[in-house]
Structure 1
Amino acid sequence: MTDQTPGRAAAPAAEIVNLALSDLTLSPLNPRQDADPAGIAALAASIRTVGLMQNLSGLSREGGKVEIVAGGRRLRALNLLAETGDAPEFVPVALTSDIQLAQFWANTENSAREELHPADEVRAYFAMLMEGNATVSQVAAAFAVTEAHVRRRVRLGALPAPVLDALKAGEINLSQAQAMTISQDEDLILAALDKAKNNKWCNEHDIRAIVLPHRISGSDRRLKFVGLDAYAAAGGKSTADLFNDETILHSPDVLDRVFAEKLDAAAETYTENGWKWVRTYAEPQPNWSEIAVAARLYREEGELTEVQMARYDELAELYNGDALDEDGESELEALQIILEGVYTTEQRAGSGVLVYVDYAGEVRASEGIVLPEDADAAIAAGLIEADHVTPAKSAASGAGSAEAEKPALSQALVTDLQAMRNAAVQGALLDKPKLALDLLAFTMSERFGPIDMAFHPSNITPSEAEGFTPDPRFSGTDAEDEAEDDAANPFEAFRAKGEKHRNAVLALTVARCLKYGFASFTSGGRLHLFDAIEAEVKANIRQVWTPTAANFFGRVNAVYLEDLLADLTGCDRSSAEFRAFAGGKKKDKAATLERLFSDPDTQALWKIDAAQKARIDAWAPDGI
């Protein structure tokens, strides 16, 4: 049997002849009637570098002219080279006078041609560059692509081989592979690869969160304030994300430290100028709801002389017309300061300043703040009137007490923690089939027992599942059990598997139905059976749960986080590190606690020793 087009005999081998470029024109049969000029220029550079590697295909016409039916982009590139004298004098062309065959050529080349797979492209570029045989510009010219395209592909070439294998096999897409390039941690990259291959909903954002869980954008206001050079000089690490044209920071603790130091230095200038107190905020603006302010002082405005006012108007007009030079701007600024006024020595001695960095990375200050404890002195000094003072909220009333009265853990969070604690006990119970059978028998012998005899599995899934890894044996029906359903006698098939299998099935059913916190009432009071089971199987919630910002730290208040950090690290609350932590946003505090529980570098930064590490690994919140 021959591979032929139905209804047509196999075509004879085409004759390839060398023809003058000037004799070639684009055929109306050619599917590529339009082409991107940039792509043609890149293809011309490739032909100039490595030559024409594939012949054109043409239909001969009367008068010696040849219409190119396949190879239209190459023809355009050759004509472009001809303008600079770089085109070859003769071009190899597969020639036919059969219009039907020419039509087959025109359509088949475009439909049958397979583009180079990105994974193969990556390996080809990477090999040429790493072997020292070519530069980026030479590779770009050889493959008729841009240099930026080569650099992006080469960045992919540094990924672990399994990633490129998965890309070639279609198990992940190009965007997912690109997202992995922002990290150099092979273990994290492979973890992201595993998730991408096994979770169809895994996107680039999810991958970035895995490979760089603590990344910070180069547009962060803190970095704008301190500068990339200062961050790097302090030991901060960063990489360029070529696929999103941004810088990614990898050392959040370094950034926090440098930011706090520079903010303290900015605040020091106010202290030197005689203000009674200066308070810094790591947030982009003070949280006024947390600040008890008795009154606010304002600058004592100045007055301009007639001559100064005339000069001010003159300079302002030039400024508005964008015609004011540098000296004129300085003069205008000096007059503006007089108009705005200044705080007197007495005002500064009786009030304070809140210093912070705004979203643009600029230092801002709220000046003239009189605290409740300074109100009487300010009244006595004549800085404010008594009836202008806002009554301060006492520690036992208002917002302060509302925060104090709130439970440390919300009911929703407690419910999640209890579900996961139950999951830990259930998982440990699977390995204690004798205990499970004892519980089952005890339940059947009692009016009320710890096992729901309707066999309704207890909920062990929290509302926020990040960091939660229950025993995989709870994941679904065993394949062997499914086989029993197909047997002629399922019961006999089940019994044939033996006592060990039977006990495992019973243990699984009992464990799934174990009720959290079950207590049996006896003549002597309550028997906290759940706690006793937990102790016997040596279960702990941390066996199935790792605290993260999403599942725990972001769901408690800022005071709880500060107390927890101080307790676990034993740090001095007056230290620069703790003050930087305490002055940050709640979400930043939550992120720091997450790193303290999972990141060795963060643990080293807080000087966590072996005993503290063991305590962190075993820690669980009270109240569950």
Structure 2
Amino acid sequence: MTTSQTPATAPNTGKMAAPPTPVVVQYGEVRDIPLSRLKASPKNARRVGHSAEVIESRAASITYKGVLQPLVVEPEVKDGRETGYYLVSAGEGRRQALRLLAKRKLLAKGAAVRCVVDTSNDPAEVSMDENLSREPMHPADQFEAFKDLAERKGYGAEEIGARFGVKPDIVRQRLRLGAVAPALLDLYREEVLTLDQVTAFAVNPDPARQLQVYEQLPTQGRQPFAIRRAMTETKVAADDRRVQFVGLDAYVAAGGPVLRDLFTQDNEGWVEDIVLLDRLVGEKLADIAQAVRDDEGWMWSAAYIDFPQGHGCSRIWERVRQRSPEEVEAINVLQTEEAELTDRWAEIDPPPPEVAARFEAIEAALDAYGEDFGFDPVQRAYAGVFVSLNAYGEAKIDRGFVRLGDEPAPEPDEDDTADETADEDDADAIGDDLETGDPDPDDEDGEPDGVARTEPEEPAGDPAAPLPDRVVAELTAHRTAALRDALAQDPDLAQVALVHALVCRVFGSGGYASCLDIRWGSRDLSAVGEGIDASPAGVAIAQRHQGWARQMPTKIADFWDFIVGLDGDSRAALLAHCVSLTLDGLRSWERREASVLAHVETLATALDLDMRVYWKPTAVRYLDRVTKAHVIAAVGEAVSSEAAARLSGLKKPDMVAAAEPQLVEAGWLPAVLRTAKSSGQAVPDGACAEVPAPADDPLALVEEVAPVLGPDDLAPRDLEQSAAEAAEVVAILEAAQ
């Protein structure tokens, strides 16, 4: 078959070009040539051979569909004679794939291969055409073609992968991409969307949701991370603490659906049934709570996903276990032997088997004696346990809570019994007076008022009778003054008395055993700041408090001897802990004295406080709770004005997602968390955003701050609101500088 072209004017000459020779559709004869007679051509333009993966995929295709395109070959000639072999000018990859199948005994070595024997064209040019004149299909076409095979023929990922030599995981990804809404794939073909954006939409296989998210997000906000977050906003990520606690396998075994992310490594996807997840978490926590209650002998136990802050319970603490002298001696002997063995065999690792066995025996013997501290079994009988989930997906067990009404009645002291007896005697005396007809027990002569009477001689009285209250008060007032003077002259004992008073307030239950009128209070910060208990500072305070609580005597009357017995450093540490719990640097809706808040800054400066150790500017802790203007100002200060400008026009969720990693990396802190005169650690270095010059006209601020806020923030709203927001940005930036 031939075709012809219309004569044309020769370029640059003005003369008529010579008619072209007729076009030949195919040069050469089609023959079936044995595979064993085909060789690689030295004239092949491809010097970098095909990869093993490519050869494998072509072999898979030939296995199912045969050779769809004949090879182009030329006869091999040596010394002017044909050798009977043929050199492959086009189709070397197919030849290698056929040889691979023959090597695997799936094809005979002499199997016939359809070829075109071309002796007219230059083999090198044919080879270049083979590699240059092809245009690969658009990825979107490939995605939809894979989807068509899956739907029309029912092929699974393994079957499709076998037919095309593609790994099943890659096939699954392409099938998921083929399930993206056709309208979005068309936008990908038109280069309106990128492959990363299409991949983000494919995280959720619901085409309706994909189109909805596409329409909701502005053009500037269609970054892949923003699309992925919008597609999964009603689901729980697999790294959520609840999923970590229950286990993804257990959730799936209970029938819970999981949305898999096929495009991100080491990402197990998202849990879709949150109600089921919470139920599984609650059940597992309840099982742990019941086990703790049964094993340890508590009166009750309760399970919550989050620790119930307003539980209304009082608390008891672990105490140092009282051991017999025999137990103490046995433990000391074991510990001494363990230390000697450690010193002797420190240079040899591992130690001889007999020595290792002795180490294990010593450890088992020490374990048998139990911990050095614990709860009193009598207290466990009226107290309980809370089991909750911590921030790391682990069960958190808090022991020693006493519900209202479960506290045992306090045993009366001997002094209280004596006072009650004296009160009863007084009552009996008054009763006797009434029986004898004395109308006024306090009237010594028994005569009616207004009747003249003579003063009787004062009776001798009982020397054992108590003194009048007024006399006792006056005497003890003098003694108190003397004590104050003496205590002021003994600073060491004054510190002991102060520590004792604070310890009675902090650790004492059911009484106060100090004559010092020390007022102590501690604001519940967890009721104001979410996540305080799980923060680095909250965890450290709780551990420190528990450590001291374990050492306290069980009776408040014994606190004094305990504190006197401490060395100076320990007593100072205990004082610091008790004092620290009273610190209240909160700024809220309450009106507080300026001098009090100034003292907060004084302490922070003296302590050289660096809040970057305790707090990060994450979305949960800060960015989600402030305005877009605050976010932009923070990025401008911590990173650069250019970085802040790049956030312009983004919706709040996208702006937060982009700003969070930058602010965390920069160690940025809001002004309220910075220490004014520290050694430069708390105030991070970084370029401050340029502050526009002050303007009397608020509308002028709109024009000056417009590059910071972005057009989407200004255009849709009235100028008054825009001016207010612009002024807010200026104020923030000025404060930062």
2:240 aligned with 1:55, yes or no? no
1:241 aligns with 2:261: yes
Task: State which of 555, 573, 581 in structure 2 corresponds to 1:381.
Answer: 555
Q: 1:28 aligns with which of 18, 37, 42?
A: 42
SS at 2:239's partner residue? coil
State the match for 1:202 in structure 2.
Answer: 222
Distance of aligned partners of 1:409 and 1:328 in 2 relative to their CA distance in 1, 3 Å threshold: closer
Residues 332-386 of structure 1, C-alpha deviation per residue, up to 9 Å, x if partnerless? 9854633652544428839997866567644355778999654356545379634
Contact 1:218 1:248 in 2 (8 A): yes
* Structure 1 residue 106 displacement after superposition: 1.0
CA offset at residue 80 of structure 1? Answer: 0.6
SS in 1 for 2:166: coil
- Residues 31-50 of structure 1: pairs in structure 2 closer than 5 A: 31=46, 33-50=48-65
Residue 164 of structure 2 is matched in structure 1 by 143
Residue 228 of structure 1 corresponds to 248
1:93 aligns to what SS in structure 2? strand
Please name the residue that 1:74 is paired with.
Answer: 94
The one of 719, 725, 734 aligned to 1:512: 719
Q: After TM superposition, list the pairs within 5 Å mapping 1:368-447 onto structure 2.
A: 374-376=507-509, 379-381=553-555, 385-386=562-563, 390=575, 392=578, 397-399=582-584, 401-402=586-587, 405=590, 413=626
| 2:689 alignment counterpart | none
| CA–CA distance in structure 2, aligned partners of residues 357 and 364 of structure 1 | 6
Measured after TM superposition, the shift of residue 278 of structure 1 is: 7.9
2: CA distance between counterparts of 1:371 and 1:241? 56
**Length, aligned pairs only:** 435
- Which moved further from structure 2: 331-340 or 224-233? 331-340
Partner amino acid for 1:45?
A
Give the residue type in structure 2 aligned to 1:44.
Answer: A
* CA distance in 2: counterparts of 1:311 and 1:515, whole angstroms: 74
Q: Give the aligned residue type for 2:189.
A: K
Label 1:233 to 1:38 Cα distance change in 2 as closer, same or farther (>3 A): closer
Deviation at 1:24, TM superposition (A): 1.3
Distance across 2 between alignment mates of 1:276 and 1:464? 59
Shift of 1:320: 6.8
Report whether the alignment pairs 1:96 with 2:152.
Answer: no
Q: Alpha-carbon deviations, 1:124-168, whole Å to 9, x = none?
A: 222222223544333223333222222221222332221222233
Residue 300 of structure 1 contacts residue 344 of structure 1 at CA under 8 Å; is this kept in 2?
no
Matched position secondary structure for 2:270: strand
| 1:17 equivalenced with 2:39 (yes/no) | no
User: Against the structure 1 CA distance between its residues 267 and 216, is the aligned structure 2 distance closer, same or farther, given a 3 Å change threshold?
Assistant: same
Q: Aligned AA for 1:37?
A: A
How do 1:514-553 and structure 2 match up within 5 A? none
2:32–2:113 contact (8 Å) kept in structure 1: yes
Change in Cα spacing, 1:356 to 1:42, as seen in structure 2 (3 Å) is same
Provide TM-score, normalisation by structure 2: 0.47
Structure 2: give runs of 5+ residues left out of the alignment: 12-17, 78-82, 402-502, 511-551, 565-570, 593-620, 633-695, 726-737
> Is structure 2 residue 285 aligned with structure 1 residue 263?
yes
- Match runs of 1:203-218 below 5 Å: 203-218=223-238
Deviation of the 1:27 alpha carbon: 1.8
Deviation at 1:76, TM superposition (A): 0.7
Counterpart secondary structure, 1:115: coil
Q: How does 1:440-589 map to 2 (within 5 A)?
A: 457=702, 474=715, 511-512=718-719
1:338 to 363, 368, 374: 368
Change (3 A) 1:40 1:515: closer
Aligned AA (2:103)? E
Q: Which amino acid aligns with 2:719?
A: R
Higher RCO (C-alpha under 8 Å, 6+ residues apart): 1
Q: Tell me the amino acid that sits aligned with residue 250 of structure 1.
A: E
Cα RMSD, aligned residues only: 5.6
SS of aligned partner of 1:66 = strand
SS of 2:269's partner is: strand
Superposed, 1:267-416 pairs within 5 Å as: 267-271=289-293, 273=296, 297=319, 303=330, 334-335=364-365, 337-338=367-368, 341=371, 343-346=373-376, 349=379, 361-363=393-395, 365=397, 374-376=507-509, 379-381=553-555, 385-386=562-563, 390=575, 392=578, 397-399=582-584, 401-402=586-587, 405=590, 413=626
Which residue identity is paired with 2:583? G
Per-residue displacement from partner, 1:439-469 (whole Å, max 9, x unpaired)?
A: xxxxxxxxxxxx969776489989899xx98
Identical residues among aligned pairs (%): 23
Structure 1 residue 44, shift from structure 2 partner? 0.9
CA distance in 2, matches of 1:371, 1:110: 88
**Aligned partner of residue 104 in structure 2, secondary structure:** coil
Q: What's the secondary structure of 2:202's corresponding residue?
A: helix
Contact 1:276/1:349 (CA < 8 Å) preserved in 2?
Answer: no
Q: Which runs of structure 2 are paired with 1:91-170 in the superposition (5 Å)?
A: 91-98=113-120, 101-132=122-153, 134-170=155-191
By how many angstroms is 1:182 displaced?
Answer: 2.6
Residue identity matched to 2:136 = E
Alpha carbons of structure 1 residues 345 and 86: separation in structure 2 relative to 1, 3 Å: closer
Which has the larger Rg? 2
Evaluate the alpha carbon distance shift between residue 414 and residue 17 of structure 1 in structure 2; reply closer, same or farther with a 3 A threshold.
closer
Supply the distance in 1 between the matched residues of 2:84 and 2:287 (Cα, whole angstroms): 83
Q: What is the letter of the counterpart of residue 204 of structure 1?
A: P
Deviation, structure 1 residue 211: 0.8
Q: Partner of 1:481 in structure 2?
A: none
- Counterparts in 2 of 1:271 and 1:171: CA distance versus 1, 3 Å: same
Structure 1: distance between partners of 2:399 and 2:254: 31
8 A Cα contact 1:357 1:363, kept in partner: yes
1:193 counterpart = 2:400: no
Between the aligned partners of 2:395 and 2:698, the Cα distance in structure 1 is: 65
Give 1:212's aligned amino acid: T
Amino acid at match of 2:75: S
Provide the rounded CA distance (Å) in 1 between the counterparts of 2:39 and 2:70: 15
Asked if the contact 1:155/1:181 (under 8 Å) is kept, the reply is: yes
Q: Using the alignment, how far apart are the partners of 1:256 and 1:345 within structure 2?
A: 32
Structure 1: segments with no counterpart, 5+ residues: 420-450, 476-507, 519-624
- d(CA) in 1 for partners of 2:274, 2:299: 32
Q: Is the 8 A contact 1:274 1:345 kept in 2?
A: no
Q: Aligned equivalents of 2:42 and 2:185: distance in 1? A: 41
1:115, CA displacement in angstroms? 1.9
Q: Contact 1:58–1:96 at 8 Å: present in 2 too?
A: yes
Q: Secondary structure at the match of 1:61?
A: strand
Aligned-partner Cα distance in 1 for 2:284–2:579: 33
Residues 401/266 of structure 1: CA separation in 2 closer, same or farther (3 Å cut): farther
